[in-house]
Amino acid sequence: MRDRASQQAALAALGQRALSGADLPGLLDEAAAVAARELEADHVAVLERTRDGEGMLARACVGLPEGVLGGVLPVEPDRLARDLGAASSLTARIGSRFGAIEAHSGEPEHFTADDAEFLDGVAAVLAAAGERAGHEDLVRDSEAQFRELADTTPALMWMTDAEGDVTFVNQGWRRFTGGTEIAGVTFASSAHPDDREETVRLWTEAMRRREEFSCEYRLRHAASGGYRWVLERGTPRFSDGEFVGYVGTATDIHERRTMEEALRASETIWRELADTAPAMMWTTDTEGAITFVNQGWLRFTGTTFQEEMGQSWALGVHPEDAETVLSTWDEALAERREWEGEYRLKHHTGEYRWIHDRGVPRIVGGTFVGHVGTAIDIHERRTMEGRLLEVYEREHRIAETLQRSLLPERLPPIEGVALAARYLPGARGAAIGGDWYDVLERPDGRVALVVGDVAGHGLRAAASMGQLRNAFRAYGMVEASPAEVVARINRLVMSGVEQVMATVLYLVLDRESGEVAWSAAGHPPPLVIAPDGARFLEGGRSVPIGAADPAVFREATAILPPGASLLLYTDGLVERRDTPLDDRLAELAEAAAQSGGELDELCEHVIAAVLGETEPGDDVALLAVRPLPVADKEISLTLPAEPGSLAQLRRRLARFLHATGASELEQYEITLTICEAAGNAIEHAYGPGDATYEVEVSFDAGEVTAVVRDSGSWRDKRGEHRGRGLRIIEDLMDDVAVERADGGTLVRMRKRVGEDRAA
């Protein structure tokens, strides 16, 4: 005999393994083994839909012939069961896309409804794990691709966020400077002290206008122990029109600078030097005709010295770049000033390569004698920049999709509470943060609310947020104490490989009594907005999740005054560099107190008042909740005529009866009698199809009246059991009447309440 408790325990263990980050293949194997054992099945198979959707790949098997594992089956229900000649089978879909898990038995009617429920549970665990593995693959792929690209280029590369803080430098940069500095430090810290101020000034200026930026300065060079001239160039990055930072490169132009200095001393020395330099160099006369190109230039173009003389150099410029190059050059020549351009020049191999070319006017004895120029091959850098931007934008899009899929615009409706939520992406950086909110109904009838903020931005933060959100959903269901939920998740996070840090406010609300219990892990306090003003709920504060283990997590409780609302938020709403936190909190409380009416209005008002016109620096999540008083003097329900509806009916009755002031015993007895009458209706309904029954309950002048109506007719006493049901109804209620009419039965019952308590 299979044991339901054992199935539940096995399911819980599997869920725990999935939550603690077991690898997907291992988890699939384990799921197959657990299912085979708990279902006493002859075979179990976990099937994953192939990428093209045309087949089902057998990912894990128990008891199946060799060759099935790793094979692809056609997408056909029960195909495997038929092929194997199983007498009975059970199948559960894994998520909406992933696939299915199947169990077979040689015995007919082997599986029970409990078995089906168990297998659904296994499938749900696998679906969540599969989805998560998918997200993690995306994160890994995208980041790995980015780093690989950046690290294989010989160029020196860096990236910043929207505030100009460096978030990434590649291996090339680290090798060059010998520095280990990576994040947060501006690159100018490795600049020569004499150049630093000017570099920072130019950089800040460009940043403010979000323009391309380029400057030359001396950068620390580890191999020589000194400094080398580099050309630094930054390109602003935009995503969906939003500025997200810069990507930049530095090119070693030390030789060019040295050459320019040499030229000032003597042209002869310069020409000698030029021919030994690897850079491409040239000089022109006052009309702009080429008078000299060095060996480096000829090596690049594969032409001869004579061919390059005069105006012919322009012939090698890519047709698409020619117009810009020639017009800017003509202008510079006419005004006898410096000229600079990036363009594609025909290489001796026949392909066009990007070069950076720069000419400066030569003044000899106060007279302009022409330009001297140096060009550097920047082809790798140019192509790399394009690819990096592509990768970066892809990452941003994935993060955004992930965030959207995890934060539903519309909260699930929960009876007895009004809810509203907002999410505002921050203006900075990758813009996608790790803020989230969530609401769920606990089995004990209380409502759990979460607002959290995962440290960091981008894809990884969004993925971590998804994992934490799932962890709260899981632990929130089984664990009643907020501090314990937070502590368990902290343990989970600390035992994981990934370093995750998050602030979280987890709160459980009793809709009936207005009692709230919460734990604030490094998170700002929730705000209560009562008719007579707004105040913060202090207490229950602890360290953030992922900060320490073991850590002590506290919880606190309070009672919400009638009609009060609660506002949970992330610190993006109240944190600003220029104002102390306390002032911002006071501002928030004041704004919330002034807002009346609906929760949507409250959210909008608070956002407008606290953030004003400015875009939030960080992302912001808001969650507002208000327990709705049971104002109804009556309830009226139409329920499906099946036993499963009774649990739902009891929960609805519990809320209603609690509000009448009935004692616990009275509540139980009224619930029992109504459900007994409903049980009769269910047993006598015509078939299980779409039959329904109706329940109406009202409360007036200390008396509860209930009516249960169905469309069937009660036969007299079908055995002792039904007899007991009627006996219960008659004995526990003050007054019972059964009417048979219109092919249906109506039971009307009345009972006075509140007398037990008074007694």
Partner 1 sequence: VTAPAEIVLDHRDDSVVARISGEVDMSNAAYVRDQLLASMPNEAIALVLDISATRYLDSAAIEVLFDVSRRLARRRQELRLVMPPDSPLRRVIELTEVHTAAPVYDSLEEALS
Per CB under 8 A, the segment of 275-283, 468-476, 562-570, 676-684 that binds partner 1 is: 676-684
496 phi and psi angles, rounded to 5 deg: -80, 165
Closer by beta carbon to partner 1, 80 or else 670: 670
Q: Does 1 bind partner 1 (CB under 8 A)?
A: yes
Contact, 369 vs 363, CB < 8 A?
yes
**Is 679 a residue that touches partner 1 (CB under 8 A)?**
yes
Separation between Cα atoms, residue 421 and residue 599, nearest integer Å: 9
Residue 435 interacts with partner 1 (CB under 8 A)? no
Q: Which 710-739 residues touch partner 1, going by CB under 8 A?
A: 720-722, 724-725, 727-728, 731-732
Cβ proximity to partner 1: between 411 and 654 the closer is: 654
Among 406, 646, 659, 746, binds partner 1 (CB under 8 A): 646
Site string for partner 1, 541-570 (x = CB under 8 A): ------------------------------
- Which secondary structure element, helix H or strand E, spans residue 290, and what is its range? strand 290-293
Nearer of residues 49 and 651 to partner 1, judged by Cβ: 651
| Shortest CB 115 distance to partner 1, Å | 12
Taking the least distance from each CB to partner 1, the nearer of 6 and 311 is: 6
**Could you say whether residue 595 binds partner 1 (CB under 8 A)?**
no
CB of 682 to partner 1, least distance (A): 7
CB-based contacts of 436: which residues, under 8 Å, 6+ apart?
406, 407, 450, 451, 452, 454, 465, 468, 469, 621
Give the whole-angstrom CA distance, residue 163 versus residue 161. 5
Residues 7-46, one symbol each (x = binds partner 1 by CB under 8 A, - = not), give -x--------------------------------------
Asked whether 84 and 43 are in contact (CB, 8 A), the reply is yes
* Window 159-198: contact mask with partner 1 (x via CB under 8 A): ----------------------------------------
Residues 101 to 130 in contact with partner 1, rule: CB under 8 A: 114, 117
**Least distance CB 745 / partner 1 (angstroms):** 17
Give the number of C-alpha atoms closer than 13 A to the C-alpha of residue 491, restricted to the C-beta side: 11
- In the block, tokens 């959903």 appear at 473
The 392-421 site mask, x for binding partner 1 (CB under 8 A), equals: ------------------------------
Question: For residue 627, is the peptide bond before it cis, meaning its omega torsion is within 30 degrees of 0?
Answer: no
Q: Which is nearer to partner 1, 115 or 131 (CB)?
A: 115
Determine if 650 is a binding residue for partner 1 (CB under 8 A). yes
* Residues facing residue 638 across a β-bridge: 694
Which lies closer to partner 1 via its Cβ, residue 70 or residue 723? 723
* CB-based contact 622:574 (threshold 8 Å): no
Exposure string of 298-323, with b = 16+ CB inside 10 Å and e = fewer, is bebbebeeeebeeeebeebbeeebee
Which residue, 580 or 644, has its beta carbon nearer to partner 1? 644
592-598, long-range: CB < 8 A, 24+ apart: 592/527, 592/529, 592/534, 592/567, 593/529, 593/533, 593/534, 595/529, 598/418, 598/420
Q: CB of residue 652 vs partner 1: minimum separation in angstroms?
A: 12
> With contacts defined by CB under 8 A, how many residues of the chain interact with partner 1?
34
- Per CB under 8 A, the segment of 4-12, 220-228, 364-372, 501-509 that binds partner 1 is 4-12
Residue 5 binds partner 1 (CB under 8 A): yes
CB of 498 to partner 1, least distance (A): 34
Side-chain-side CA neighbours of 683 within 13 Å: the count stands at 14
Closest distance between partner 1 and the C-beta of residue 495, in Å?
28
Interface with partner 1 in residues 442-481 (CB under 8 A): 443
On whether the CB atoms of residues 44 and 61 are closer than 8 A, the answer is: yes
The single residue among 644, 690, 741, 742 that binds partner 1, judged by CB under 8 A, is 644
Q: How far is the CB of 588 from partner 1 (least distance, A)?
A: 40
Select 283 or 671, whichever has its Cβ closest to partner 1.
Answer: 671
Span from 3-11, 90-98, 381-389, 406-414 in contact with partner 1 (CB under 8 A): 3-11
Q: Mind giving me the DSSP string for 393-449? A: HHHHHHHHHHHHHHS-SSPPP-TTEEEEEEEE--SSTT--EEEEEEEEE-TTS-EEE
Q: Is 153 in the site for partner 1 (CB under 8 A)?
A: no
Closest to partner 1 by CB, 615 or 664 = 664
Query: By the 8 A CB rule, do 103 and 134 touch?
Result: no
Query: Which is nearer to partner 1, 95 or 679 (by Cβ)?
Result: 679
Please give the helix or strand (H or E) that residue 263 lies within, else none.
helix 254-265
CB nearer partner 1, residue 5 or residue 759: 5
List the beta strands (DSSP E) in 302-366.
339-346, 352-364
Rounded CA-CA distance 158/162 in Å is: 13
Q: Which of 682, 695, 708, 747 contacts partner 1 by CB under 8 A?
A: 682
Nearer to partner 1, 144 or 478 (CB): 478
Does 4 help bind partner 1 (rule: CB under 8 A)? yes
Asked if 3 interacts with partner 1 (CB under 8 A), we say yes
The Cβ-side half-sphere exposure at 33, using a 13 Å CA radius, reads 8
Binding flag, residue 432, partner 1 (CB under 8 A): no
Residues 656-675 close enough to bind partner 1 by CB under 8 A:
664-665, 668-669, 671-672, 675
Residue 578 or 720: the one with the smaller Cβ distance to partner 1 is 720
Between 444 and 613, CB nearer to partner 1: 444
Contact 607, 622 (CB under 8 A): yes
Contact status: 95 vs partner 1 (CB under 8 A): no
User: Which amino acid would we find at residue 371?
Assistant: H
Instruction: Identify the residue among 7, 645, 660, 745 touching partner 1 (CB under 8 A).
Output: 645
Q: Nearest Cα to 296, choosing from 267, 273, 319, 327?
A: 273
Q: Please enumerate in sequence order all residues whose Cβ is within 8 A of that of 268, keeping only pairs 6 or more positions apart, or say none.
A: none
Q: Rounded to 5 degrees, what are φ and ψ at 391?
A: -60, -45
- 552 vs 647, beta carbon nearer partner 1: 647
Considering only residues 216 to 235 of the shown chain, the ones binding partner 1 according to CB under 8 A are none
- Polymer length of the chain: 759
Question: Secondary structure of the chain: what % helix, strand, coil (to 5)?
Answer: 40, 30, 30
How near is the Cβ of 636 to partner 1 at its closest, in Å?
20
Beta bridge partners of 419: 625
Q: Which is nearer to partner 1, 113 or 631 (CB)?
A: 113
Interface residue with partner 1, options 643, 688, 702, 743 (CB under 8 A): 643
Question: Integer distance in angstroms from the first to the last C-alpha of the chain?
Answer: 50
Strands of 367-377's sheet in order across: 290-293, 280-284, 367-377, 352-364, 339-346
- Which positions lie near partner 1, rule CB under 8 A? 1, 3-5, 8, 114, 117, 443, 643-648, 650, 664-665, 668-669, 671-672, 675-676, 679, 682, 720-722, 724-725, 727-728, 731-732
